[in-house]
């Protein structure tokens, strides 16, 4: 028994030494070995996406957007941010504007940096008389210094912006969006599958809704640069989704003729294999966008660069999430509605169930030949069964008038105890 225990201990030590070490989550993420089950938790991702979209849609409906002057029209006043008495703040400019015109401006911001920095005031359309009165009030109280170093009304410029320009940009953007979606649908339907086209459009809808909703919730100003940036993120989101779908197509090629894995498992493996690539692509895409934000806000002040970079940053983040957590699960749901893939999944489950039964039988057969503790348990069960049978025979022979079969009589006459060694353990030999 001691030798058996020692042998078992040595076997356990060897097994622990040869057993591969368990990989961490970061290692699985880097290697793409399928450490994350996105498909099994798809209902959670669906619920999160639905909540985000409902919040964004609700904000767009009830709160609306903050359109720039290019969309609503109005008057724009610009003057140097450096005054004779020091820098001019936006608060001071708003106060003077409200006193001179009778109502506050729509927006006031600093544009640029250094000596070229200017104060930009936007409001509803003003008359010529209101503009002249405003210029005189600004020069009188704030004294903006012009190019010649003197404070005069010549240092202040004004312009009227028509809202038709922003409306025209919006119409052109809607046309471009419609053409883009049609071409995307045709491309994915031809080179991939119609199910993939539907899943990709679902992810794009999430990206558009989320980006627009963030602008509505936070109150960012919507400018023509915002509309242009919104179109650019669609291409990025589609690229990230197509990369994942291409891997799904590779993993599921000829899957209906196999019984090794189901479609959801193959799709989940494709997600894990491309996960690190998606993260790297997102990070490298956000680096130049972050540089645009730093330059647009920190160096040049709020302007076109800021508007363009801000919408791209939001869109890249939303596109990364949708391509990982939304597009592929939707594709799996659409695919598993087909009877062929349902039948293939049943074959996989049947094959695995058969494999488990075969492994269990093999383990039992191996246990009958080995000398481990599991073998002792099986031998004890056989020995106890033999004892019960012998006691039953003895009890039956003691009953008066009971005639036993000749085979039972020979068995009782030839043995007084069940077969087994002196230790009480069965020999394991088969009776003939």
**Into how many domains does the chain fold?**
2
Q: Last residue of some domain: 143, 161, 179?
A: 161
Range of the domain at 120: 74-161
Q: What is the DSSP string of 186-206?
A: HHHHHHS-HHHHHHHHHHHHH
Q: Are residues 317 and 191 in the same domain?
A: yes
Of 10-24, 67-81, 202-216, the range with the highest mean pLDDT is 202-216
Neighbours of 73 (CB within 10 A): 17
Residue 211: pLDDT band with limits 50, 70, 90: very high
pLDDT tens for each residue of 314-336: 999 999 999 999 999 999 999 99
pLDDT in the model for residue 86: 82
pLDDT in the model for residue 12: 47
Q: Where are the beta strands (DSSP E) in 135-239?
A: 157-161, 221-222
Q: How many CA atoms lie within 13 A of 2 on its CB side?
A: 0
Residue 49 has pLDDT above 50, yes or no: yes
Residue 50: pLDDT band with limits 50, 70, 90: very high
Residue 138: pLDDT band with limits 50, 70, 90: confident
Q: Are residues 41 and 127 in the same domain?
A: no
Q: Are residues 98 and 219 in the same domain?
A: no
pLDDT in the model for residue 307: 77
Instruction: Tell me the two tokens of residue 312.
Output: 């791209």
Residues 6+ apart with CB under 8 A from 214: 56, 220, 314
Residues 6+ apart with CB under 8 A from 93: 79, 105, 108, 119, 121, 138, 142
Is the model more confident about 419 or about 300?
Answer: 300
pLDDT in the model for residue 259: 81
Is the model more confident about 4 or about 57?
Answer: 57
Residue 1's Cα: distance from chain center in Å?
A: 56
CATH code, domain with 221: 1.20.1640.10
pLDDT in the model for residue 191: 86
Q: Are residues 132 and 155 in the same domain?
A: yes
pLDDT in the model for residue 301: 59
With vertex at residue 412, the alpha carbon angle to CA 406 and CA 416, rounded to the nearest 5 degrees, is 165
Task: Give the residue carrying structure tokens 């492994």.
Answer: 359
Q: Are residues 102 and 202 in the same domain?
A: no
Tell me the longest C-alpha to C-alpha distance in the chain: 139
Phi, psi (degrees; rounded to nearest 5) at 65: -115, 170
Residue 397 domain-assigned (yes or no): no
SS3 content of the chain, % helix, strand, coil (to 5): 70, 10, 25
pLDDT in the model for residue 25: 61
Q: Write the DSSP symbol of residue 432.
A: -
Q: In this structure, are residues 222 and 71 in contact, taking their beta carbons and an 8 Å threshold?
A: yes
Q: Are residues 205 and 256 in the same domain?
A: yes
Q: What proportion of the chain, given as a percentage, has pLDDT over 70?
A: 73
Instruction: Tell me the two tokens of residue 113.
Output: 């940096």
pLDDT in the model for residue 299: 64
Rounded Cα distance between 413 and 415, Å, is 6
Q: In this structure, are residues 110 and 302 in contact, taking their beta carbons and an 8 Å threshold?
A: yes
Rounded Cα distance between 132 and 396, Å, is 127
pLDDT in the model for residue 213: 92
Residue 343: pLDDT band with limits 50, 70, 90: very high
CATH code, domain with 129: 3.30.70.3220
Q: What proportion of the chain, given as a percentage, has pLDDT over 90?
A: 20
Residue ranges in 252-303 assigned as alpha helix (H): 263-293
pLDDT tens for each residue of 404-416: 555 555 555 554 4
Neighbours of 273 (CB within 10 A): 18
Q: Last residue of some domain: 161, 189, 207?
A: 161
pLDDT in the model for residue 374: 47
Residue 57: pLDDT band with limits 50, 70, 90: very high
pLDDT in the model for residue 14: 47
pLDDT in the model for residue 397: 52
Residue 339 has pLDDT above 60, yes or no: yes
Rounded Cα distance between 19 and 17, Å, is 6
Going by their DSSP bridges, the two strands 221-222 and 66-67 should be labelled as parallel
Mean pLDDT confidence for 81-95: 85
Q: Are residues 145 and 27 in the same domain?
A: no
Q: Is 401 left (phi over 0), alpha (psi -120 to 50) or beta?
A: left
Averaged pLDDT score across all residues of the chain: 78
Mean pLDDT confidence for 37-41: 90
């Amino acid at each position: 028994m001691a030798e058996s225990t020692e042998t078992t201990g040595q076997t356990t030590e060897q097994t622990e030494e040869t057993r591969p070490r368990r990989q961490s989550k970061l290692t699985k993420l880097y290697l793409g070995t399928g450490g994350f089950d996105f498909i099994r938790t798809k209902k959670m991702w669906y619920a999160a996406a639905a909540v985000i979209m409902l919040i964004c849609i609700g904000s767009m409906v009830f709160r609306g957007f903050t359109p720039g002057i290019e969309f609503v029209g109005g008057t724009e006043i610009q003057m140097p941010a450096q005054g004779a008495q020091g820098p001019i703040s936006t608060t001071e400019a708003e106060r003077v504007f409200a006193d001179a015109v009778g109502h506050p401006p729509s927006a006031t911001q600093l544009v640029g940096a250094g000596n070229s920095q200017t104060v930009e005031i936007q409001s509803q359309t003003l008359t010529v008389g209101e503009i002249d009165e405003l210029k005189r009030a600004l020069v009188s109280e704030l004294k903006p210094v012009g190019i010649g170093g003197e404070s005069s009304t010549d240092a202040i410029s004004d312009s009227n912006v028509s809202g038709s320009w922003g409306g025209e940009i919006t119409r052109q953007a809607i046309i471009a969006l419609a053409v883009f979606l049609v071409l995307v649908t045709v491309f994915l339907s031809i080179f991939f599958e119609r199910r993939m086209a539907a899943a990709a459009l679902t992810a794009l809808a999430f990206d558009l809704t989320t980006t627009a909703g963030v602008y509505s919730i936070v109150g960012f100003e919507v400018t023509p640069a915002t509309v242009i940036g919104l179109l650019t993120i669609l291409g990025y989101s589609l690229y990230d989704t197509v990369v994942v779908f291409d891997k799904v197509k590779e993993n599921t090629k000829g899957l209906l003729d196999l019984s090794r894995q189901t479609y959801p498992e193959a799709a989940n493996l494709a997600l894990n294999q491309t996960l690190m690539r998606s993260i790297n692509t997102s990070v490298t895409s956000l680096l130049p966008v972050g540089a645009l934000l730093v330059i647009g806000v920190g160096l040049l002040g709020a302007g076109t660069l800021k508007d363009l970079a801000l919408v791209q940053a939001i869109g890249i983040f939303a596109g990364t999430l949708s391509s990982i957590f939304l597009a592929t699960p939707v594709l799996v749901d659409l695919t598993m509605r087909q009877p062929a893939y349902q039948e293939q999944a049943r074959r996989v489950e049947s094959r695995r169930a058969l494999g488990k039964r075969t492994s269990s039988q093999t383990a039992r057969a191996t246990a009958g030949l080995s000398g481990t503790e599991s073998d002792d348990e099986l031998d004890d069960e056989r020995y106890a069964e033999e004892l019960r049978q012998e006691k039953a025979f003895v009890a039956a022979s003691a009953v008066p008038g009971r005639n036993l079969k000749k085979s039972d009589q020979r068995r009782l006459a030839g043995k007084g105890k069940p077969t087994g060694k002196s230790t009480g353990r069965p020999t394991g030999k088969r009776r003939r």
